[in-house]
Structure 1
Amino acid sequence: METELGSGLSEDAEAAVDWFLTLTLVVKTFLMGLIIAASIFGNLLVIISVARFRKLRIITNYFVVSLAMADILVALVAMGFNASVIIFGQWIFSYAMCDIWNSFDVYCCTVSILHLCCISVDRYYAISQPLMYPMKITRKKVAVMLANIWTWPALISFFPIFLGWYTTDEHQLYREKNPHSCRFVVNKVYALISSSISFWIPCTIMLYTYYRIYEMASRQEKMLLKNADAALLFRQQNQRRSAEMEQHQIHHIQQQNQDGASITTAVGAAINGPNSGILPAIQVTKPDVLLEVNGKAQQQQQNGTPISSSPPPPPPENKRISAGDRSALLDSASDANRYQCRDETCSNTPTISKDSKHLQKIRREHKAARTLGIIMGAFVLCWLPFFIWYLSVTLCGDMCYCPDIVVEVLFWIGYFNSTLNPLIYAYFNKDFREAFRNTLVCVFCTRCQDPREQQRDQLAALGFHQQQQQHGKNNLGRLSVASAENQTSRTIRHSSGDTIAGIERIDHKRLSGVAVQNL
């Protein structure tokens, strides 16, 4: 009875263990498949986006495209074979395929890491020597660098592994007796050389270059902020000075119209009406009125010409404000405003100086360096634990034993770096983000717009926006002149009203006098 009970409990325990192992295997398979698919899809998206969008075809992105190709190889070969070993629990391929897998694993991971190292050097020259960068980093030099990146890692992967230099004699005998095992056991010399070329030397170069980039970027950022503060202060002072001058001009015109000159104007519907004809003129007598016409202030004086309803011959010194004169006044004031703008080194049209373009370029370089710095940080976090384990196990042997599950996790954390790179591009780089969005819309939706057409649409929208901005600035430039002209018109209408009221009082007195005489 006890035996049957014990066997029943053992069967239940075995079933529970089997169920747990099956669930663990399903979760592992799902996660590994997700990482592989995301790595292939994301890096393909990088390659397609750079191919479709001319804006992304810059020197740095040549390294990025080549890195994406290396990461696709990591996903297809290194991750694929490793996943098969985890799923089936053993090596299901031939003896030669084991060497091919180990060779591609070392080769692809080394190529990916060397790409990141070259990108850091490229960014270092772009920020430290921006004027010499186009001459130092040319397309031909980039092609040579990429050729070396793809060639030299073969010297620490395919040749030593196929020739048997990478491992110990004991492991060679073990592999011959156990063909279903494909463990990558290396000797101490190969571990030191391969890890140094694959990780430690590139990592040291990247840390140094990004530390230098951080120093220069911080220093240039402080200079940019200082220059921006100075430019903002200068712009505020210039705007305040322009506002004071405009206010002074308006006050000057108002003072001139209040203090005096003789203005011949048309009274009636013609002064504001649609017709430009001149009605019978009214002579308004005031001492010394200045009227600015054609950009010059002219002072005229009229010695009390009698007021009549018939148009007297206008003296040559009098000025008649009609619709044409009003437009001439506006044009002359606008010319004066433009002349003043030239004196004050301001402009109605938005201009971008060489310095501002240089500052914008520096900002773009800093943003690219910051993005690539995040990529480098992700690289260190992903690969550093693996290479620490790789060296420690090789150098201290069985004393540094590590469970198989931990080894699997370390391998896949390193592989996961190939999946992270395109995600970092999409999140931190605006150009890649827009290119990814457009490419995804083109792939999964029916709205597929050619990049050249999209660029033309963006340029057209930008031109329309600049035209609207220019129109608004021109209107603001004429605001002071329009205010002065309106004040002049109100002064004229007020003077005309006073004159008409005076005429009515005179006529009323005359009529009253006639009525008294008749009585």
Structure 2
Amino acid sequence: MNLENVNQTENCFSICSEKTTVSTTVHVLLYISAVAVVLLTVLGNLLVIISVCHFKRLHTPNNILILSLAVSDLLVGLISMPLHFIWKIESCWFFGFIFCHIYNFFSFHVTSVSAHNVALIAIDRYFALSHPLRYSKEVSKSVMYIVVLFNWVFSLFYNFALLYSNGNFTDLTMCPGECFLVQDEVWSLVDVLIVFVFPCAVIIILYVGIFFIARKHINSIRKLDIQRNGVDGKHAKDSVTSERKAAKVLGILVCVFLACLIPYYVCIFVSNTIGGEFFYNVINNVLIFFYLNSCINPIIYALFYPCFQKSIKLILTCQIFNMNSSLINVLG
């Protein structure tokens, strides 16, 4: 679009000047909080990426999905989060009309990839637990690379089609200092189904299935322990502890994902029904929760695992620079 066609009305010139008056202290605290979240997101995902790439024992199909998730979340932390936080704190878009389109497309793309990565991890873990023999034979690193590539390519074309079909690249006009996108009701519904409903349904259904499969295995171990020892011995008590821990972890996985995504899509539905500038501003504020999912993901999906805890310790103590450090057994 020709920049000369941007509406230069009197309202346009007042966009960046009509800021909410906040004290300098609050302004500084907002920036400190934003920097802290960005650093936590970037460093957390960067540690996961280095761990999977450096240590050969972590070169497994499941960890390839975790690597893809960490890359998408790292990009959110490097690009989407800083721009969005500056935009909201300053109440003005300083980066121009063209970069606004790039930001919108990139943010849609990487957050979509991240959500589908979470669903793919659930599929991978369910298949590995329910069909261990088939999983070891059929799911190789090459297969997982293809799955990851398809996820990124699909998201790329889907989000381009979504924004282009709604005229965001051709017909949209914005005042200086504004950055927004247009999405009709049909595409909003499609987007909710593809990026939210489908991943959430997969995650909830499969993790519930994983829980019941794990519980079945634990009950089998408990019965075997009783048969051998005649009492509900140490192994049975350990299995109960493992069961509770599994239930807690699964609850955290599902609740965090839903808590980060539900507010955004609820606001999308309300704004399409009611509309207005107020709901548009609410959506942009709630979008922060969507981005926070990229900050929490490395903690939930990687840093809770002993192998990643060990690899991160080796990274932080600079032991990865030692000879043959990539061959260290971080699984043991």
TM range (shorter): 0.7 to 0.9
Indicate the residue corresponding to 1:226 in structure 2. Answer: 223
Distance 1:151 1:403 in 2: 29
Q: Deviations over 1:397-434 (max 9, x none)?
A: 24x95484x54541111111111122224652111111
Indicate the residue corresponding to 1:451 in structure 2. Answer: 325
Q: Deviations over 1:291-314 (max 9, x none)?
A: xxxxxxxxxxxxxxxxxxxxxxxx
1:422 to 292, 298, 319: 298
Indicate the residue corresponding to 2:214 in structure 1. Answer: 217
Matched-pair contact (CA < 8 Å) for 1:35–1:419: yes
Distance 1:413 1:449 in 2: 42
1:70 and 2:96 matched = no
1:190 and 2:68 matched = no
Matched-pair contact (CA < 8 Å) for 1:50–1:65: yes
Task: Output the TM-score relative to the length of structure 2.
Answer: 0.80
Distance 1:433 1:118 in 2: 23
1:379 to 257, 281, 286: 257
What letter corresponds to residue 379 of structure 1 in structure 2?
A: F
Indicate the residue corresponding to 1:250 in structure 2. Answer: none
Distance 1:389 1:39 in 2: 25
1:431 and 2:307 matched = yes
Residues 1:121 and 1:370: Cα distance change in structure 2 (over 3 Å): farther
Task: Output the TM-score relative to the length of structure 1.
Answer: 0.53
- TM-aligned CA deviation for residue 69 of structure 1: 0.4
Ranges in structure 2 where 5+ consecutive residues have no aligned partner: 1-19, 234-240
Indicate the residue corresponding to 1:154 in structure 2. Answer: 156
- TM-aligned CA deviation for residue 391 of structure 1: 2.0
Matches within 5 A, 1:40-189: 40-162=42-164, 164-165=166-167, 172-173=172-173, 175=174, 178-189=175-186
Distance 2:51 2:72 in 1: 17
Matched-pair contact (CA < 8 Å) for 1:122–1:137: no
RMSD after superposition:
3.4
Matched-pair contact (CA < 8 Å) for 2:55–2:328: no
Distance 2:188 2:166 in 1: 14
Matches within 5 A, 1:162-311: 162=164, 164-165=166-167, 172-173=172-173, 175=174, 178-233=175-230
Residues 1:85 and 1:442: Cα distance change in structure 2 (over 3 Å): same
Matched-pair contact (CA < 8 Å) for 1:98–1:182: yes
Q: How many residues align?
A: 306
Task: Indicate the larger mover: 225-234 or 388-397.
Answer: 225-234
Ranges in structure 1 where 5+ consecutive residues have no aligned partner: 1-16, 237-362, 460-519
What letter corresponds to residue 381 of structure 1 in structure 2?
A: A
- TM-aligned CA deviation for residue 102 of structure 1: 0.5
Matched-pair contact (CA < 8 Å) for 1:426–1:432: yes
Indicate the residue corresponding to 2:317 in structure 1. Answer: 441
**Which structure: larger Rg?**
1
Residues 1:51 and 1:140: Cα distance change in structure 2 (over 3 Å): closer
Distance 2:119 2:303 in 1: 21
The structure 1 segments of at least 4 consecutive aligned residues displaced by more than 4 Å after TM superposition are 166-169, 366-373, 446-450, 452-456
What letter corresponds to residue 413 of structure 1 in structure 2?
A: F
- TM-aligned CA deviation for residue 380 of structure 1: 1.4
Indicate the residue corresponding to 2:15 in structure 1. Answer: none
Matched-pair contact (CA < 8 Å) for 2:41–2:77: yes
Q: Deviations over 1:195-235 (max 9, x none)?
A: 2111111111111111111121111211121122323449x
Indicate the residue corresponding to 1:412 in structure 2. Answer: 288
What letter corresponds to residue 420 of structure 1 in structure 2?
A: I
Could you tell me the percent identity over the aligned residues? Answer: 26
Distance 2:54 2:126 in 1: 27
2:266 to 378, 388, 392: 388
2:39 to 18, 37, 40: 37
Matched-pair contact (CA < 8 Å) for 1:43–1:72: yes
Task: Indicate the larger mover: 216-225 or 84-93.
Answer: 84-93
What letter corresponds to residue 52 of structure 1 in structure 2?
A: H
Distance 1:377 1:424 in 2: 11
- TM-aligned CA deviation for residue 121 of structure 1: 0.4
Residues 1:373 and 1:21: Cα distance change in structure 2 (over 3 Å): same
